[in-house]
Amino acid sequence: MRRLEFLLVLLLLTSSLAGGTDLGPKSTPDGIVFTFEAPGARQVTIAGEFNGWSPEKDHLKDIGGGLWQIVLPLEPGRYEYKFVIDGVTWKEDPYSPGYVPDPYGGRNSVITILSDGSIDWTGSKRAAGPIVAHLKPLKKPLYLAILWHQHQPHYLKDPETGEYAEPWVRIHGCLLYTSIASRIMSMHIPMSSTSSNSLSTSSILCLKGAQAP
């Protein structure tokens, strides 16, 4: 008899654990299903980057057993989100694919939806570290225009007029900026960096047609 009781308890525990893993986000033809366990709650909503972090827009439905659920037709992308209980208590999803720090010392849940509508359970959990470890080679050449801004006395603005007395931007120290401005195509990505001696600042412009990593 005791053996039977033990087996029943073990079965219940196993079922409970198995059911717990089913509470995570799921991809369906209708969208992403979010489920949250909140026994005794009067209402549960979900707030995230997909709805402007509104705690009042997307209400989960009470499906019984202390579980609340909603289906959201999300576009492919990466989204941070939290559940909001009774409009006051913000909780992360304990079964989220990943987490990131929030501005208040807690964590936001993270979900990444792929182009086919499935959930990326690996990318959302990507560990913190050098981003270079996740970069992929470009398929096309990347052409750069290196522009230098020299912070030398004769390049500074006139304190009275606010104008530069001399041309102050050169491309790799060879041509005046005014000479090459018309040759520069539309920017793809603007980037800035300052040298360690604070004497010059360079801006790197990724030209049209180049691919961003």
Percent of the chain at pLDDT exceeding 70: 50
How far is Cα 43 from Cα 63, in angstroms, rounded to an integer?
Answer: 12
Taking the domain 23-129, which CATH number applies?
2.60.40.10
Tokens read off for 172: 């790799």
How far is Cα 128 from Cα 40, in angstroms, rounded to an integer?
Answer: 36
Cβ atoms of residues 34 and 69 within 8 Å: yes
> For the chain, which residues make up each domain, given as ranges?
23-129, 144-207
Most confident listed range (30-44, 123-137, 186-200): 30-44
Determine which of 10-24, 160-174, 199-213 has the lowest per-residue pLDDT on average.
199-213
What are the pLDDT digits (tens) for 76-94? 999 999 999 999 999 999 9
pLDDT mean across residues, the chain: 70
User: HSE on the CB side for 65, CA within 13 Å?
Assistant: 9
How far is Cα 16 from Cα 83, in angstroms, rounded to an integer?
Answer: 22
Tokens read off for 102: 């929030």
pLDDT (mean) for 33-50: 95
The region that residue 33 occupies, defined by phi over 0 for left and psi between -120 and 50 for alpha, beta otherwise, is beta
Predicted structure pTM score: 0.51
At 140 the pLDDT is: 77
Tokens read off for 105: 């010392």
At 22 the pLDDT is: 72
At 164 the pLDDT is: 54
How far is Cα 165 from Cα 178, in angstroms, rounded to an integer?
Answer: 14
How far is Cα 150 from Cα 171, in angstroms, rounded to an integer?
Answer: 11
Asked if the model's pLDDT at residue 174 lies above 70, the reply is no
Q: How far is CA 75 from CA 59, 107, 120, 195, 212, in A?
A: 19, 23, 13, 41, 21
What are the pLDDT digits (tens) for 127-166? 455 555 556 677 777 766 655 555 554 455 566 766 655 5
Cβ atoms of residues 57 and 51 within 8 Å: yes
Q: How far is CA 21 from CA 9, 17, 37, 85, 142, in A?
A: 19, 7, 12, 21, 44
